[in-house]
């Protein structure tokens, strides 16, 4: 890594980093611990550099000197935290660019290489010092999760939308086939190596929930977490630093903590106002002893809970109802959060183009205080009609055209996710047409979505019912304002997030599920809605046709727009056919193990270093756990 000049001891970030590494361990840990424990809020500062939503952030290892970020603008940015905070230094853009949204990132243990994966079905390996692309690993579908082995920087795991968890070795030829650890019909949204036991991996699946896997036993999970509700829609899973606990996020349910050996939850964490339904999020542990957890929320806030020391805390369902800290400052949904144990710095991102840095220490140009007395001016949600008006007046949907390289807030993007939040909350008080409204919103966002396996039926249903009809049914309860005719409509004053009876209804339903967790039923939430994201460049052409089709509900449709739409549909169908042919060709070349325990010859060579180590035996406390998942 390059030596940074000009920051010296004047920088609190540099001082804390050096103190963490070189200082007395008892003094430095106790000082940081007491500092955070005495706060009710944190100082905050924005890092500007991205041109779209920021979908992935990761601190570097051994001090967190660097932060890597990626998002809808398809760029991987590398930030030196000390220089970015104290001298407003711009980030370094790595040369390798993705073809679509970036969803996941990972450093190797030396911080010399960065892995990035996303919607373009590939993982790119970057050289940090030169910025060059070292290798590209092709997948069959979007890549949602990455994790590098804690004992071998050449081995990494990826989880993707095609329902597979793959283990790769960067020393193998790029065209070689990876080792398939898991293969489910539903998408894997997250994967992580156990930091203390490298042969164990944790996964989060969109229908099968959270699972623990042993690399020596592919195709069958070692343990399924969740008790009687193991079949849940999970989107993120993280180990603590010692590998003894797992933290997971589930759709429409609060964060949950598991002990490594037990399938039953240790604690679930809730707070009034917290909900997780509209987007895919990640979570993390925090504190020098992993005594806190962090998660973003659809209400634009970042929540921190303290893990109880008493194992019996929380009462029935072991629900910790009350956050230790609620960090307010984001202007839209918070999706990503990471904690730096060396500087006690938190970074969060989401729908906005900014990365927000939180710290118990005041930084240059930071705002807020440690007592929570200084609050940012909140904004009201856009209405669904205002979102439609924004798209129609702009003449295009949520485009991936970043030629302007604007870091300013995008009202269309904010309005789109506001519409999802509004529909989700209103759905708790009126379930009759909530699915239809959600389908209409997603159709407007990107009708020609790349993974349209499940979208064609919903799109046809939404097209049959005009969007104005679904909105009018909600007008009496939400007091939605009529759409303005200008290109920049003003948000309404009434904010549905503050409506008491809807919030109470939402909380009541979720808490009822938590209390009934020990029941015999295996009911689970259905597969989540498609991951809300800006469409890839190949989908941009379909957005104008979506706007045209919606405008036709209030005016006559011209023959030119009809022919243009037909051409775009034909191009999209041709793309789907070519994709299916490519994937079929790949599968014919792939030789997967047919029986449990069998592995290709190449896999035995890849993991010989693992088999030569002595590892503790994993035992399951709950004898009712099933060993087979298929």
Higher-pLDDT residue of 572 and 540 is 572
Residue 618 sits at φ, ψ, to 5 deg, of -95, 120
The answer to whether 44 touches 357, Cβ cutoff 8 Å, is yes
Bridge partner residues of 137 (DSSP):
123
Confidence (pLDDT) at 332? 97
pLDDT digits (tens, 9 = 90+) for 139-181: 999 999 999 999 999 999 999 999 999 999 999 987 778 999 9
Confidence (pLDDT) at 504? 52
- Strand duo 319-321 + 265-270: pairing: parallel
Spatial distance between the Cα atoms of 64 and 85, rounded to a whole number of angstroms? 14
Residue 277 sits at φ, ψ, to 5 deg, of -145, -30
Task: Label residue 384 by pLDDT band (50, 70, 90).
Answer: confident
Spatial distance between the Cα atoms of 96 and 616, rounded to a whole number of angstroms? 40
Nearest to 426 by CA among 374, 473, 371: 473
Confidence (pLDDT) at 563? 62
Confidence (pLDDT) at 509? 53
Name the strand (E) or helix (H) holding 189. strand 188-193
Spatial distance between the Cα atoms of 65 and 80, rounded to a whole number of angstroms? 6
pLDDT digits (tens, 9 = 90+) for 514-565: 445 443 333 333 333 344 443 443 444 444 444 444 444 444 444 454 566 6
Q: How many CA atoms lie within 13 A of 379 on its CB side?
A: 16
Task: Label residue 182 by pLDDT band (50, 70, 90).
Answer: very high
User: Average pLDDT of 447-456?
Assistant: 38
Confidence (pLDDT) at 127? 98
DSSP string, 425-461: HHHHH--SSHHHHHHHHHHHH-TT-TTTTTHHHHHHH
User: Average pLDDT of 12-38?
Assistant: 72
Note every long-range contact of 3-11, with CB atoms under 8 Å and residues 24 or more positions apart, other chains counting: 4/80, 4/82, 4/83, 6/83, 6/87, 7/82, 7/83, 7/86, 7/87, 10/86, 11/82, 11/85, 11/86
Task: Give the global pTM.
Answer: 0.71
pLDDT for residue 239 is more than 60 = yes
Tell me how far the alpha carbon of residue 142 is from its chain's centroid.
13
Note every long-range contact of 106-109, with CB atoms under 8 Å and residues 24 or more positions apart, other chains counting: 106/58, 106/146, 106/147, 106/148, 106/156, 107/58, 107/59, 107/60, 107/61, 107/66, 107/68, 107/148, 108/148, 108/153, 109/61, 109/62, 109/148, 109/150, 109/153
The answer to whether 360 touches 346, Cβ cutoff 8 Å, is no
Tell me how far the alpha carbon of residue 209 is from its chain's centroid.
15
Confidence (pLDDT) at 463? 40
Top-ranked range on mean pLDDT: pick from 227-231, 358-362, 444-448 = 358-362
Spatial distance between the Cα atoms of 348 and 302, rounded to a whole number of angstroms? 8
Task: Label residue 619 by pLDDT band (50, 70, 90).
Answer: low
User: Average pLDDT of 217-231?
Assistant: 86
User: Average pLDDT of 307-314?
Assistant: 85
> How many other C-beta atoms lie within 10 A of the C-beta of residue 97?
15
The answer to whether 2 touches 129, Cβ cutoff 8 Å, is yes
| DSSP 8-state code for residue 290 | S
Task: Label residue 583 by pLDDT band (50, 70, 90).
Answer: low
Task: Label residue 575 by pLDDT band (50, 70, 90).
Answer: low
User: 189-193, 410-414, 535-539, 553-557: which has the minimum mean pLDDT?
Assistant: 535-539
Spatial distance between the Cα atoms of 86 and 365, rounded to a whole number of angstroms? 9
Name the strand (E) or helix (H) holding 545. helix 540-551
User: Average pLDDT of 385-399?
Assistant: 76
Higher-pLDDT residue of 457 and 314 is 314
Tell me the domains of the chain and their CATH numbers: 8-359 (2.130.10.10), 384-516+531-551 (no CATH)
Confidence (pLDDT) at 433? 39
User: How far, in Å, are 13, 529, 541 from residue 182 at the CA level?
Assistant: 41, 22, 35
pLDDT for residue 210 is more than 80 = yes
Residue listed under structure tokens 């015999």: 520
Confidence (pLDDT) at 392? 84
DSSP string, 87-141: S-PPPEEPS---SS-EEEEEE-TTSSEEEEEETTSEEEEEETTT--EEEEEE-SS
Spatial distance between the Cα atoms of 8 and 15, rounded to a whole number of angstroms? 8
Confidence (pLDDT) at 387? 86
> How many other C-beta atoms lie within 10 A of the C-beta of residue 136?
11
User: 54-58, 184-188, 305-309, 567-571: which has the minimum mean pLDDT?
Assistant: 567-571
pLDDT digits (tens, 9 = 90+) for 26-67: 677 888 899 999 999 999 999 999 999 999 999 999 989 999
């Amino acid at each position: 890594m390059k030596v940074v000049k000009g920051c010296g001891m004047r920088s609190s970030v540099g001082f804390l980093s050096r103190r963490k590494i070189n200082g007395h361990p008892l003094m430095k840990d106790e000082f940081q611990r007491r500092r955070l424990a005495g706060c009710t809020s944190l100082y905050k500062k924005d890092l500007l550099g991205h041109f779209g939503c920021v979908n992935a952030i990761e601190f570097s290892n051994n001090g967190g000197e660097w932060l890597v970020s990626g998002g809808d603008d398809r760029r991987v940015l590398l930030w030196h935290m000390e220089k970015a905070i104290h001298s407003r230094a711009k980030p370094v853009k790595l040369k390798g660019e993705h073809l679509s949204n970036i969803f996941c990132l990972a450093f190797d243990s030396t911080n010399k290489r960065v892995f990035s994966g996303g919607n373009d079905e590939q993982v790119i390996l970057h050289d940090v010092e030169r910025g060059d692309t070292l290798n590209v690993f092709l997948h069959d579908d979007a890549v949602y999760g990455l994790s590098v082995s804690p004992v071998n920087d050449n081995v990494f795991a990826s989880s993707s939308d095609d329902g597979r968890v793959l283990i790769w070795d960067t020393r193998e030829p790029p065209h070689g086939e990876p080792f398939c650890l898991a293969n489910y019909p539903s998408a894997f949204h997250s994967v992580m190596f156990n930091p203390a036991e490298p042969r164990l991996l944790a996964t989060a699946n969109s229908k099968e929930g959270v699972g623990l896997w042993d690399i020596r036993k592919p195709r069958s999970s070692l343990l399924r977490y969740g008790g009687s509700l193991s079949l849940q829609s999970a989107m993120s899973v993280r180990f603590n630093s010692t590998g003894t606990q797992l933290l997971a996020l589930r759709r429409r349910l609060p964060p949950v903590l598991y002990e490594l050996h037990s399938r039953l939850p240790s604690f679930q964490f809730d707070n009034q106002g917290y909900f997780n339904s509209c987007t895919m999020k990640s979570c993390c542990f925090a504190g020098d002893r992993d005594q806190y957890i962090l998660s973003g929320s659809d209400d634009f806030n970042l929540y921190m809970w303290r893990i109880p020391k008493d194992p019996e805390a929380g009462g029935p369902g072991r629900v910790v109802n009350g956050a230790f800290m609620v960090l307010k400052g984001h202007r839209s949904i918070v999706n990503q959060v990471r904690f730096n144990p060396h500087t006690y710095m938190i970074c969060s991102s989401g729908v906005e183009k900014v990365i927000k840095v939180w710290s118990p220490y005041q930084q240059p140009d930071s705002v807020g205080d440690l007592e929570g007395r200084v609050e940012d001016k909140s904004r009201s949600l856009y209405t669904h009609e205002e979102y439609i008006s924004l798209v129609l007046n702009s003449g295009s949907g949520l485009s991936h055209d970043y030629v302007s390289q604007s870091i300013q807030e995008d009202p269309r993007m904010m309005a789109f996710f506001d519409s999802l939040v509004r529909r989700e909350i209103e759905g708790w008080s009126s379930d009759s047409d909530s699915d239809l409204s959600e389908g209409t919103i997603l159709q407007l966002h990107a009708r020609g979505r790349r993974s349209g396996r499940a979208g064609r039926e919903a799109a046809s249903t939404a097209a049959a019912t005009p969007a104005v009809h679904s909105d009018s049914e909600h007008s009496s309860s939400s007091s939605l304002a009529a759409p303005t005719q200008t290109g920049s409509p003003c948000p309404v004053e009434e904010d549905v997030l503050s409506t008491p009876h809807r919030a109470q209804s939402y909380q009541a339903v979720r808490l009822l599920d938590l209390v009934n967790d020990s029941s015999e039923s295996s009911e689970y939430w259905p597969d989540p809605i498609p991951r809300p994201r800006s469409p890839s460049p190949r989908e941009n052409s379909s957005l104008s046709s979506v706007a045209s089709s919606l405008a036709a509900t209030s005016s006559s449709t011209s023959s030119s727009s009809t022919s243009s739409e037909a051409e775009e549909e034909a191009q999209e169908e041709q793309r789907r056919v070519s994709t299916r042919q490519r994937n079929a060709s790949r599968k014919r070349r792939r030789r997967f193990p047919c029986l449990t325990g069998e592995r290709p010859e190449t896999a035995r060579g890849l993991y010989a270093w693992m088999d030569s180590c002595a590892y503790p035996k994993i035992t399951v406390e709950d004898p009712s756990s099933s060993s087979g998942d298929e």
